[in-house]
């Protein structure tokens, strides 16, 4: 981590933890120290019972320009594999972790930055944001889970197009293809993502969201796999305090106060 400033800043409030990639001069490129810091910050947020939603964004004008190409010199097969460990920690935390994650995208989200953005449960993007899976322009293959994330979100045909061309595409295409859920005016992505995160934190049961994320993380799977997981999850939730509170609040026509238990 830099002595001058953290590579990932953390802000908390209203049940929301906001993680900001903070290497503006490099368009928030994912250098190895930043990857480790982000993985640690995600783990800490997910472990925090006060955190009910996470917002991930980038400082300055861009979300993330991908990997730090300048730091890739001298990488061999073994170190190349090892470099992915922290990236895989990040993606697993976002997809398999129990806390909803919303990405707020301005400017560029390319290479690993695209993977990072779409690993979120909900993507909020400025209409002027630009995306690309441009690994093949560098002679690499898509990482940070892109080969799983893109087909899941956009379908196999569109994933092939995005991965094999490396072309840059606009936010409106991202929304049309299932890679972004909400579009905002330039400069508005973080505010929109934060408002949504606060709404999730204030109105939904964290344990229910945790089980929902577990179910979604099992996709794609067979129908039997999903139905078994669904039954296991619902059985556990029926015995939770949050379900008892939610039911009582519904019947009492009042706002529920969920505990995450």
Give the pLDDT of residue 230: 65
For 32, 36, 85, 145, 174, the CA distances from 79, given in Å and listed in that order, are 12, 15, 10, 18, 33
H or E stretch at 191: helix 189-203
Q: Which long-range contacts (CB under 8 A, 24 or more apart) does 150-158 make?
A: 150/118, 150/179, 152/219, 152/220, 153/118, 153/177, 153/178, 153/179, 154/178, 154/179
Q: Which residues pair with 18 in a beta bridge?
A: 11, 55
pLDDT digits (tens, 9 = 90+) for 80-115: 888 889 999 999 999 999 999 999 999 999 999 999
This prediction has a pTM of 0.91
**Percentage of the chain surpassing pLDDT 90?**
72
Residue ranges per structural domain of the chain: 8-202, 204-252
How many CB atoms are closer than 10 A to CB 24? Answer: 13
The more confident residue out of 185 and 69 is: 185
The CATH number of 8-202 is 3.90.226.10
pLDDT in tens, 121-135: 999 999 999 999 999
Task: Decide which of 1.10.1660, 2.40.30, 1.10.12, 1.10.3470 is the CATH code for 204-252.
Answer: 1.10.12
Taking 70 as the threshold, does the pLDDT of residue 41 lie above it? yes
How far is Cα 186 from Cα 191, in angstroms, rounded to an integer? Answer: 11
CA dist 100 → 16, 69, 144, 252, 253 (Å): 10, 30, 18, 28, 26
CB 26 within 8 A of CB 174: no
pLDDT in tens, 234-246: 778 778 888 888 8
Q: Considering only CA atoms, which of 187, 188, 237 is closest in space to residue 211?
A: 237
Going by C-alpha positions, the residue among 70, 57, 72 that lies closest to residue 16 is: 57
Q: Stretch 156-162: mean pLDDT, rounded?
A: 97
Query: For position 4, what pLDDT does the model report?
Result: 75
């Amino acid at each position: 981590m830099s002595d001058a400033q953290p590579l990932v800043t953390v802000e908390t409030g209203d049940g929301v933890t906001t993680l900001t990639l903070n290497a503006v001069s490099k368009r928030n490129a994912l250098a190895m120290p930043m990857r480790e810091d982000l993985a640690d910050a995600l783990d800490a947020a997910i472990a925090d019972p006060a955190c009910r939603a996470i917002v991930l964004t980038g400082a300055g004008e861009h979300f993330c320009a991908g990997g730090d190409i300048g730091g890739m010199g001298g990488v061999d097969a073994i170190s190349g594999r090892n470099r992915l460990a922290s990236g895989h920690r990040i993606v697993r935390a976002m997809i398999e972790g129990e806390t909803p994650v919303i990405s707020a995208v301005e400017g560029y989200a390319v290479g690993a930055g695209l993977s990072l953005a779409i690993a979120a449960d909900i993507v909020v993007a400025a209409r002027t944001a630009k995306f690309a899976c441009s690994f093949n322009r560098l002679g690499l293959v898509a990482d940070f889970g892109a080969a799983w994330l893109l087909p899941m979100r956009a379908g196999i045909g569109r994933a092939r197009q995005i991965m094999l061309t490396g072309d840059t595409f606009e936010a409106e295409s991202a929304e049309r293809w299932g890679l972004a859920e909400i579009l905002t005016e330039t400069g508005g992505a973080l505010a929109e993502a934060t408002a949504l995160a606060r709404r999730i934190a204030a109105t939904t049961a964290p344990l229910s969201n945790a089980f929902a994320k577990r179910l979604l993380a099992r996709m794609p799977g067979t129908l039997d796999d999903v139905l078994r997981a669904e039954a296991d999850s619902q059985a556990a939730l029926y015995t939770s305090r949050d379900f008892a509170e939610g039911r009582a609040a519904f019947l009492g026509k009042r706002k529920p106060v969920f505990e995450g238990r």
